[in-house]
Amino acid sequence: MLKIKKNIAISDSGFVFDPMSGESFSLNPIGLEIIQLIKNDHTHQEVSQAILEKYEVDQETFDRYFYDFIATLKQFNLTESENNG
């Protein structure tokens, strides 16, 4: 399961700060919702369901956006992988 690093600060306005690198990022409202759901240990399916119910988007479009977003989070080193042995 994908996890957002615990030391990453996320404000209600979509401001993300990484204290390790000193870098900060701004998220759009949907990106903010997704990152908050992930930070609260929601699965991809749960995140997908929440976004599909709230916004007019189809599953294929959501999945493409979601995986691009996750790749960006990984690129900026904001995630950690949870190893299950």
pLDDT at 83 (0 to 100)? 55
pLDDT, tens only, 29-64 = 999 999 999 999 999 999 999 999 999 999 999 999
The pair of structure tokens assigned to 67 is 């995986």
Q: Which of helix, strand or coil describes residue 22? A: coil
Calculate the average pLDDT of the chain.
Answer: 91
pLDDT at 8 (0 to 100)? 94
Least confident span in 51-55, 66-70, 77-81: 77-81
Residue 79 CB coordination number (10 Å): 19
pLDDT at 85 (0 to 100)? 38
Domain ranges for the chain: 2-77
pLDDT at 78 (0 to 100)? 94
Q: What DSSP assignment string belongs to 47-61?
A: HHHHHHHHSS--HHH
Using the CB atoms, write b or e for 13-45: b if 16+ within 10 Å: ebebebeeeeeebebeebbbbbbbbbeeebebe
Beta sheet of 15-18, edge-to-edge order? 9-10, 15-18, 23-26
